[in-house]
Chains A and B, each alone.
Chain A
Amino acid sequence: MSEPAPERVFEPSVDGRIVLDARDISRALTRISHEILERNRDAEDLVLLGLHTRGVPLARRIAARIETAEGHPVAHGALDVTMYRDDLRTHPTRAPHHTEIPPVGIDGKTVVLVDDVLFSGRTVRAALDALADYGRPAVVRLAVLVDRGHRQLPIRADHVGKNLPTARSERVGLSLEETDGIDEVRIVELEGVTRA
């Protein structure tokens, strides 16, 4: 997540307005999967790494779609960036999630980082640092379901499900079947709240 996840300040399916429903999300993921394949004809060198929390099921879904299209499995795993965040000292400590690097490793591979919402870019920066401790990929790309803008670092995504122009006072609430029981993206107005 580009924002501290997964604490929610709203109830899914209650607050805000829906901007993507389950079918929109499914279509976006299918398109991202095809884009990734187009950029990497040979899926064998591909490793998809989902960023905790909601990037992990997204990476799994994209991997499943690529497998269906290509007929063979694609390596995928999970990356936790808690220890690499630059805001560790401004929050109470968080317990790290489990990092799962697939057995093929990441050396010389095309690694696609998968996240749900791209916001400030700080999570992606932390992920790049974490990645460097696990090995040396040939190429690193970034796939996100939603790009909501407001970048604080020179980072952009290679594959975007939906560009969603937002105000700083709004929050993008992304729910997934695996973690929240429903697939949808909502925009919630948070009065007087600006997040860095």
Chain B
Amino acid sequence: MTRHLLSIDDVSAEEIQQLFATAAEMHDVQKREVKKLPALRGRTVINLFFEDSTRTRSSFEIAGKWLSADVINLSAKGSSASKGESLRDTVLTVTAMGVDGLVMRHSASGAAHQVAGWLDIPVVNAGDGTHEHPTQALLDGYTLQRQLGGPGSLEGKRIAIVGDLTHSRVFRSNVKSLTKLGASVVAVAPPTLMPAGVTDWAKADGFATSYHLDEVLPEADAVMMLRVQRERMSGGFFPTSREYTVGYGLTRQRLGMLREGAPILHPGPMNRGLEISPEAADAASSRILDQVSAGVAIRMSVLYHLLAGEESA
């Protein structure tokens, strides 16, 4: 494993499988009465969130605590960062308190890379702007691999990623991890939400693009719906919510176009009725809650591999 987890580029296909194998063992811990492993006893991890997040932050917090680490949560709201302190000073100050690992979310793409260069402790990127969200991609890949039959089962599978691709770090990280695991990714979005230069990028990374969800769905082995990020949109990406749903929502009608049992994923939080219908969100093949529990297991696996061994000592 590398020292930091900033991007899916940091891990090879073999390392991803190693992280998944460890996560599978961590998953079993969730079923135990005593949900605690001593692996990170005496270590301190700071969750530094410059951007709101409930599920990612609490899942990192639970992961750290189940590994017996001391976990401190800091959000930028009400901290010195909101008083105008620079990112560098904030990070150096909190890590000077003797922490062993930093989990960071920031609205600026590349912030985690920047911070990792200033520190000599492992840094985990918990989402940076529209750039990457590697642990989300790992938990998605882990959930899909389990659903489709274990290690190697993603090989040759067709995964549709649908929605606001322009603003999605989940999409960027997932394309990298799923293609590394041998899946073929089809990215579906309206032309206005396709990232600039996507054609070159698709060629380089080996994925396909489409504007037509109805053509892609019947061929897909799994579908991953992305959240429409209204907070990142200054308007003009699509005329009305209704129109978006008609063209790109996983509606009740479209549910019937999916292959039987094809897993439905969504990184949350969901806009029910916009990108995903309640019927799809609650369908038997929906794996959305499995993603949440896999999130804890994957984050335990990542924290263990980055923080437990000699290299981080």
Contact = CB atoms under 8 A, between A and B. Distances in A.
Contacts of A89: 308-310, 313
B309 A83 contact: no
Contact of B310 (A83, A84, A91): A91
A98 B25 contact: yes
A96 B22 CA distance: 6
A134 B28 CA distance: 11
B32 A92 contact: no
A136 B308 CA distance: 27
B12 to A, nearest CB: 14
- A83, A92, A134: most-surrounded residue (chain B CB, <10 A): A83
A68 interface: no
Contact of B38 (A129, A134, A135): A129
Contact of A95 (B21, B32, B34, B311): B21
A96 B300 CA distance: 12
B309 A91 contact: yes
Nearest to B35: A133
A140 B33 CA distance: 20
Given A89-B309, A98-B25, A83 B37 contact: yes
Interface string B166-201: 000000000000000000000000000000000000
Contacts of B38: 83-84, 129
A80 B25 contact: yes
Contacts of B99: none
B127 to A, nearest CB: 24
A12 B261 CA distance: 48
Contacts of B308: 88-89, 93
Nearest to A93: B309
A131 to B, nearest CB: 11
Contact of B34 (A88, A99, A133): A133
B111 interface: no
Interface residues of B, number: 21
A90 interface: yes
For chain A, give the interface size range. 20 to 34
B87 interface: no
B310 A95 contact: no
A95 B24 CA distance: 11
Interface string A35-51: 00000000000000000
A132 B25 CA distance: 17
B309 A95 contact: no
Given A83-B38, A88-B308, A133-B32, A95 B22 contact: yes
A52 to B, nearest CB: 11
Nearest to B21: A95
A96 B25 contact: yes
A133 B34 CA distance: 6
Contacts of A97: 25
Nearest to A89: B313
Given A91-B309, A91-B310, A99 B39 contact: no
B50 interface: no
B35 to A, nearest CB: 9
Given A89-B309, A93-B305, 5 more contacts: A88-B39, A90-B313, A93-B1, A96-B25, A133-B36
Interface of B: 1, 18, 21-22, 24-25, 28, 32-34, 36-39, 304-305, 308-311, 313
Interface of A: 80, 83-84, 88-99, 129, 132-135
19 contacts: A80-B25, A83-B37, A83-B38, A83-B304, A88-B308, A88-B309, A92-B310, A93-B305, A93-B309, A94-B309, A95-B22, A96-B22, A97-B25, A98-B24, A98-B25, A129-B38, A133-B34, A133-B36, A135-B33
